[in-house]
Amino acid sequence: MTTPHPVDTRLPWHRLLVFGIQHVLIMYTGCVTVPLVFGAAAGLDKTTVALLISADLLVAGIVTVVQSLGLGKFAGARLPIITGATFVAMSPMILITEQYGLQAMYGSMLLGGVIGIALAWPFASIVRFFPPLVSGTVLTVVGISLIGVAGGLIVGSDAKAAGFAAPSHIALAAAVLVVALVCTVLGRGVWSQLGVLVALVVGILISIPMGLVHLDGVSKASWLGVPHPFHFGAPHFPVTAVVAMSIVMAVVFAESTASMLAIGEITGKPLTRGDLARGLVGDGLSAVLGGVLNAFVDTIFNQNVGAVANTRVFSRYVTAVSGAILVVLGLMPRFGALVAAVPQPVIGGVGLVLFATISVIGVDTLRKVDLSDRLNLSIIAVSIGVGLLPVLTKGMFDKFPSQAQILLNSGISLAAVTAFTLNLVFNHTRLGEFARPASVSAAAQPDPDTPEAVAAT
């Protein structure tokens, strides 16, 4: 009798449950922070934010189960994968909402997901065009551009309001930041991984005597409920918004591909192009479900990839249990209302940690790039510079057509397009060979063991 691969091993039910809950605890804060931050930035009331949280958890749970168990030959990498809402889409979602409204935001997400599903198999074949040089640059810009969003949550959005930039709110966010740092640096095992969640709880406790926690909406929320499809109305599909969300899907695909290859290496299970493609279909499916159920685009959570490596528990049935737990939480509107009551300065403090971490991950990814090569260095420098222009120079593109502003004001979109184009021109054409000395050109070829080279074979 053939021994099943550790990825396909079924553990006793009590171990499945314990490790499944641990995965949920590790990813939970990052997952619910996206609807909290987006809801605050879009000016949504707490009842609506609670709806977004429930939908977010439901879709994350469904896609996690699909990625873990598979959906026939259509979707699912069949790996121990946890998915959740990605911050990569945050800035484009906010810009689309401001320009066209929520119906257009969810419409563009839905259509972007359909496009993503259609391109999943071709993308698995051209993933070499999204090496660490591109993904690392984009992740760096993502983190830096979102720090301003965290700051806005801490000080408030109305400069004329009496509580704007209140020292007490800034002190609260600072306390959250300190607790997260102490837990992460001094904590051991799971406590280190749950540092952000502990900081969130401490921030809420401090907020209670400050009068910042309001639970009025919690008692009105139902214990059980299903998110209403197209809650904000029939979806709209502005071309510019759809293009922006399609770019987001490409970035998510590049990030997820790297995560799947890492999981394959950790678990010792070689991945085929079909495995990668079905995993990417899962990402596209999350956008389609998100567009219908008022949720968000999902990606593979790298903190859970780290948990798989640390625990050495490789069973995909563990993460399937985690997905089932998320589905149950998503079907409890009162739970979502409770999370929506978290004060904005607390969210801002937690967001600051998470967003800055994304930038650090981007920098770490760029360490895999040969920065002694002046062309690579120039590609990264130009792409980061272009990506941060609309973030640091407000109003730079205000005189451009409104349709173009969705793309031009999104630093993430600009950085992604710039890095992808320059990498294609200088690292995949004869122009790059001409610009480099022959010895450097040979040294610049990707190592055969790197993710992009493996995926291209």
Q: What is the pLDDT of residue 104?
A: 95
pLDDT in tens, 269-282: 888 889 999 999 99
Residue 453: pLDDT band (50, 70, 90) is: very low
- At residue 310 the predicted structure's pLDDT band, cuts being 50, 70 and 90, is low
Q: Angle, to 10 degrees, between the axis of helix 239-267 and the axis of helix 273-293?
A: 140
- For residue 455, the model assigns a pLDDT of 44
Range from 216-225, 314-323, 380-389 carrying the lowest mean pLDDT: 216-225
| Mean pLDDT, residues 309-319 taken together | 80
Which residues constitute the domain of residue 219? 6-456
Helices 132-155 + 344-366 axis angle, to 10: 160
Distance CA 104, CA 402 (A): 14
Answer for the pair 386, 415: CB distance below 8 angstroms, yes or no: yes
Q: How far apart are CA 35 and CA 231, in angstroms?
A: 15
Q: Is the pLDDT of residue 373 over 50?
A: yes
- Tally of structural domains, the chain: 1
Supply the pLDDT for residue 349.
84
Please count the other Cβ atoms lying within 10 Å of the Cβ belonging to residue 197: 20
When pLDDT is cut at 50, 70 and 90, the band that residue 136 belongs to is: confident
Q: What is the mean pLDDT of residues 171-184?
A: 87
pLDDT for the residue 449:
42
pLDDT confidence of residue 217: 63
Burial class (CB in 10 A: 0-12, 13-18, 19+), 427: buried
* Cβ atoms of residues 172 and 206 within 8 Å: yes
* pLDDT band, very low/low/confident/very high, at 3 (cuts 50, 70, 90): confident
Cα–Cα dist 426/300, whole Å: 30
Closest to 283 (Cα-Cα) out of 96, 103, 59, 94 = 59
Closest to 61 (Cα-Cα) out of 401, 321, 360, 428: 321
What spatial distance separates the first Cα and last Cα of the chain, rounded to whole Å? 32
Of the chain, the percentage scoring pLDDT greater than 90 comes to 24
Please give the pLDDT value at position 333: 76
pLDDT of residue 451: 46
Mean pLDDT, residues 138-166 taken together: 78
Which amino acid is present at 425?
V
pLDDT of residue 184 exceeding 80, the answer is no
Specify the pLDDT at position 19.
81
Asked if residue 293 is part of any domain, the answer here is: yes
Band (pLDDT 50/70/90 cuts) for residue 4 is confident
208 vs 191, more confident = 208
pLDDT at 457 over 50: no
Question: Is 1 part of a structural domain of the chain?
Answer: no
Please say if the pLDDT value at position 448 is more than 60.
no
At 456 the pLDDT is 41
Q: Which of 186, 223, 195 is nearest to 331 (CA)?
A: 223
CA atoms within 13 A on the CB side of 152: 15
Residue 277 lies in a domain: yes
Does some domain include residue 211?
yes
Which has more confidence, 299 or 306?
299
pLDDT of residue 53: 87
Q: Residue 168 has what pLDDT?
A: 87
Residue 340: what pLDDT?
65
| Per-residue pLDDT band at 336 (split at 50, 70, 90) | low
In terms of average pLDDT, the best of 141-150, 211-220, 325-334 is 325-334
pLDDT band at 67 (very low <50, low <70, confident <90, very high): very high
- In this predicted structure, what is the pLDDT of residue 403? 65
Q: Average pLDDT, stretch 51-55?
A: 89
CA 86 to chain centre: 2
| Higher pLDDT among residues 25 and 359, named by residue | 359
Place of tokens 């009798």: 1
Which pLDDT band, with edges at 50, 70 and 90, does 355 fall under? confident
With 0-12 CB in 10 A as exposed, 13-18 as middle and 19+ as buried, what is 367? Answer: exposed
**Mean pLDDT, range 42-62, rounded to an integer:** 89
Among candidate residues 254, 226, 242, 217, the one with its CA nearest the CA of residue 128: 254
Q: Mean pLDDT over residues 292-320, rounded?
A: 82
Residue at 367 is within a domain:
yes
Beta carbons within 10 angstroms of residue 456's beta carbon: 16
Q: Tell me whether residue 210 is in a domain.
A: yes
The mean pLDDT value of the chain amounts to: 82
- What pLDDT sits at residue 157? 65
pLDDT at 297: 93
Residue 215 lies in a domain: yes
Average pLDDT over residues 111-139: 86
Given a cut of 80, whether residue 305 has pLDDT beyond it is no
Query: Each residue of 217-270: pLDDT tens digit?
Result: 666 667 777 788 988 999 999 998 998 899 889 888 877 887 787 787 778 888
Q: Is there a domain that residue 353 lies in?
A: yes
pLDDT at 320: 95
Q: Cα separation of 134 and 380, whole Å?
A: 8
